[in-house]
């Protein structure tokens, strides 16, 4: 049997996130400044081991998720900035003061110090008051990392974009709400608040490697924000936004997703998955479709094709080897499945001489 597919080019998110949690559990968060225990965290990173893969970590790695465009806004008085729809995740965090966030056809939401926002594939406006008329935020930043509006810093915001390699970012972005707000007072947000403190401190330190550390911390903050939001809104999210990421909170379906992600080359059947998670075949199939939004084997095929796309694009493996690694004994069957999902044969991604 083929071994489980190794994920190409894993990101640092999982490792750094586990280190931050380790530091929190070590108790240093309550006794040291953010700058001091950031040094501790970076030192620990050298000898740390990556945590066990889970579906979210694997998806982030397969999509090549990475932070880009860290920026800072300091503002006083009346102001409003508009930003266009982009197929990426946008992180906005309130370091000081308060502001408002507006999305099309939604009521404005107030954001206070310590709150973190994750914004999906939608245009949005961030403003001092929901009635302010916005100006183009992209033009105002004009490639700068920091922007000052007015003559003070009553409000300070940090922002970052989370970019993805290739054309498959919808696998994650479409599984998330267009706007996730994690309140600083939320019981689930301790790690979010702590990571935000670390990020703010690191962006102001200007030490060797600060840009890299800040970039990694923004990736950690995204993962912690997703965790906190899903924990606080698990039932509401499952009912209003059916997706694989919402289903991770379901004991049975989450376990089935972990099985599929953990051994993608295995010849999974609905009957075996149901048996492994302690459900009847019919009950499992129905529950999976209700929580994930698609049938179990359809989801498995989609995940296999996403992994295959990345392997073909970024490794030297030929089609036959990629097919085997994602659970296909027949390269022809694999090619047909790949073309159904992406509209083109897999050979277009294979480098010459490796077909």
Cβ pair 18, 51 in contact under 8 A:
yes
pLDDT score for 188: 86
Q: Give the pLDDT of residue 15.
A: 42
pLDDT band with cut points at 50, 70 and 90 for residue 238: low
Query: Mean pLDDT lowest for which of 40-54, 170-184, 254-268, 314-328?
Result: 40-54
Model confidence over 87-141: pLDDT tens digits? 889 999 999 999 999 999 999 999 999 999 999 999 999 999 999 999 999 999 9
Rounded CA-CA distance 88/173 in Å is: 7
Q: Are 254 and 51 in contact (CB under 8 A)?
A: no
What's the confidence (pLDDT) of residue 239? 53
- Compute the distance between CA of residue 63 and CA of residue 56 in angstroms, rounded to an integer: 11
Domain boundaries, the chain: 55-232, 244-349
Closest to 315 in 3D by CA, of 8, 61, 2: 8
Instruction: Compute the Cα dihedral for 149, 78, 225, 138 and give only its sign.
Output: negative
Does residue 8 surpass a pLDDT of 50?
no
Residue 1, pLDDT score: 42
Residue 18 pLDDT greater than 50, yes or no = no
Is the model more confident about 62 or about 17? Answer: 62
Q: What is the DSSP letter of 248?
A: T
Q: What's the topology of domain 55-232?
A: Jelly Rolls (2.60.120)
Confidence of residue 314 (pLDDT cuts 50, 70, 90): confident
- Bigger pLDDT: 144 vs 158: 158
Residue 17: pLDDT over 50: no
- Arithmetic mean of pLDDT over the chain: 83
Residue 7 has pLDDT above 50, yes or no: no
Angle of CA points 321, 257, 186, to nearest 5°:
130
- Cα(202)–Cα(213) distance, rounded to whole angstroms? 7
- What would the CATH number be for the domain defined by 244-349? 1.10.10.60
Q: Do 55-232 and 244-349 show the same overall fold?
A: no
73/27: higher pLDDT:
73
| Least trusted range by pLDDT, from 10-19, 113-122, 208-217 | 10-19
Asked whether residue 333 carries a pLDDT value surpassing 60, the answer given is yes
Burial of 237 (0-12, 13-18, 19+ CB in 10 A): buried
31-81 pLDDT, tens digit per residue, is 344 444 444 443 333 233 334 568 999 999 999 899 988 899 999 999 999
Q: What is the pLDDT of residue 235?
A: 60
């Amino acid at each position: 049997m083929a071994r489980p597919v190794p994920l190409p080019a894993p990101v640092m998110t999982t490792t750094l996130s586990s280190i931050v949690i380790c530091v929190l559990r070590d108790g240093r968060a309550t006794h040291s400044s953010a700058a001091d225990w950031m040094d501790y965290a970076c030192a620990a990173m050298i000898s740390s081991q990556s945590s066990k893969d889970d579906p979210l970590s694997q998806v982030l790695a397969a999509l090549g998720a990475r932070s880009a465009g860290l920026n800072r806004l300091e503002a006083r008085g009346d102001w409003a900035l508009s930003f266009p729809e982009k197929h990426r995740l946008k992180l906005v965090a309130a370091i000081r003061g308060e502001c408002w966030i507006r999305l099309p056809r939604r009521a404005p939401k107030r954001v206070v110090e310590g709150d973190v926002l994750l914004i999906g594939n939608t245009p949005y406006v961030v403003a001092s008051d929901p009635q302010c008329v916005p100006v183009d935020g992209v033009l105002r930043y004009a490639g700068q990392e920091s922007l000052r509006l007015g003559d003070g810093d009553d409000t300070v915001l940090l922002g970052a974009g989370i970019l993805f390699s290739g054309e498959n970012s919808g696998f994650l972005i479409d599984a998330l709400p267009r706007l996730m707000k994690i309140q600083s007072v939320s019981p689930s947000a301790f790690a979010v608040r702590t990571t935000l403190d670390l990020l703010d401190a690191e962006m102001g330190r200007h030490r060797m490697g600060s840009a890299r550390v800040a970039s990694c911390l923004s990736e950690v903050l995204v993962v912690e924000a997703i965790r906190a939001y899903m924990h606080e809104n698990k039932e509401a999210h499952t009912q209003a936004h059916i997706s694989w990421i919402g289903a991770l909170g379901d004991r049975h379906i989450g376990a089935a997703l972990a099985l599929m992600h953990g051994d993608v080359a295995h010849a999974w059947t609905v009957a075996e998955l149901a048996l492994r998670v302690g459900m009847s075949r019919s009950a499992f199939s129905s529950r999976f479709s209700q929580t994930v939004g698609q049938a179990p084997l359809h989801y498995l095929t989609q995940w296999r094709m996403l992994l295959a796309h990345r392997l073909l694009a970024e490794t030297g493996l030929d089609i036959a080897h990629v097919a085997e690694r994602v659970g296909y004994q027949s390269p022809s069957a694999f090619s047909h499945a790949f073309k159904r999902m992406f509209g083109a044969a897999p050979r277009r991604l294979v480098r010459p001489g490796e077909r």
